Structure 1
Amino acid sequence: MKPTTRGTLAAVVTGVAATVGAAAPAAAAGTVPVPLPLGGVSKALDMEVPRLSAELPLIKPGAPEGPRYVTGRLLPDRALPQLPVSSGLPGLDARAPLPHILGDNGFDHLDVVAPAGDVRALAPGLSVDAPLTEPGGENFGLPATKLPEAGVLAPVVQTVAGGNLGTGPGL
């Protein structure tokens, strides 16, 4: 193998390893940090600017529960099962300078911290039953008629959101 081919192969393997290594902690944490760099704006304008960073959640679909067979029904209980999805609320961490209106020329700060929270959801589902009963001995083994049944399983969303809003001296 030529040295240039070996060097190219080593560079590709190193790039793939770096990409996988960087993606693994974000996938394990469930959120991806997104800093907003405003340092250049602060230096260009020669003033204090807010510091912002956010956390974006990763959506993780789950495995739906299969249909459940119930005695006395021809069709399974959940013909269209509910799909569970887990994700998170986006997080925010912001710190902005507040100038003193009266008095000395110093700065105070305003903090907004809203950590990423977990969200668990179930998509809507459908439950139907045929207009026939199960075959029985009283009708020569033939099914009897009945009213059809249909029901929509309501979607579910569960989360707990929290945050802090505060002010304080200094930057």
Structure 2
Amino acid sequence: MKSTTRGTLAAVVTGVAAAVASAAPAAAVGTVPVPVPLDGIEKSLNIELPKLGGEIPVPMPGAPEGPRYVEGRLIPERVIPQLPVSGGLPGVGLRAPLPHILGDDFDHVGVHAPASDLRTLAPGLTLDAPLTPPNPEGFGLPEPKLPQAGVLAPVLQTVPGADLVAGPGL
């Protein structure tokens, strides 16, 4: 093997290893922080501005439940299964200064609404054929019946929360 081929192969392996190593911690994080930089405005206007930031959740798809075979039906339940997705609602943090009217000191007021867990299930579909299973009393032939179709409703579960604080200092 030529030295240029070995060098290229080593560079590719190193790049793949670095990509895999950097992707693993990002996938383990449930939210991504989003700071809002207001430092430049504070310095240019020479005033104290609120501190603002947020959190954006990373949605993670789950594994859908497979079809279930039920006795007495020709088509299994959940022809189109519901896809679970877990993530969260975005969070926000705001801390604003409150100046004293008769002094140079500042107090603060803040709102902190952390990202909250969110669990969802996409809509699904269930069907049944217009025939019954083979009937031994009817020479093993299926009998006609009304077809059935149903929509599995989507699900949305979350418990959001927020804190409102006020106090001395910035």
Q: 1:74-110: CA deviations, max 9, x gaps?
A: 101111100000111111111111223x432322111
Unaligned runs of 5+ in 1: none
Give the deviation of 1:121 after TM superposition.
0.5
Q: 1:99-137: CA deviations, max 9, x gaps?
A: 23x432322111111111111100001111011100111
Unaligned runs of 5+ in 2: none
Q: 1:39-73: CA deviations, max 9, x gaps?
A: 12111110101111111111111111111010100
Alignment partner, residue 127 of structure 1: 126
CA distance in 2, matches of 1:130, 1:27: 42
Alignment partner, residue 84 of structure 1: 84
CA distance in 2, matches of 1:20, 1:163: 36
Give the deviation of 1:21 after TM superposition.
5.2
Find the residue that maps to 2:137 and give its secondary structure. Answer: helix
- Work out whether 1:153 is the aligned partner of 2:152: yes
Q: Percent identity?
A: 61
Give the deviation of 1:169 after TM superposition.
1.4
Q: Do the aligned partners of residues 23 and 44 (structure 1) sit closer, same or farther apart at CA in structure 2, a change above 3 Å counting?
A: farther
- Work out whether 1:170 is the aligned partner of 2:135: no
CA distance in 2, matches of 1:48, 1:26: 34
The number of equivalent residue pairs is 164
Moved over 6 A (4+): none
CA distance in 1, matches of 2:48, 2:131: 74
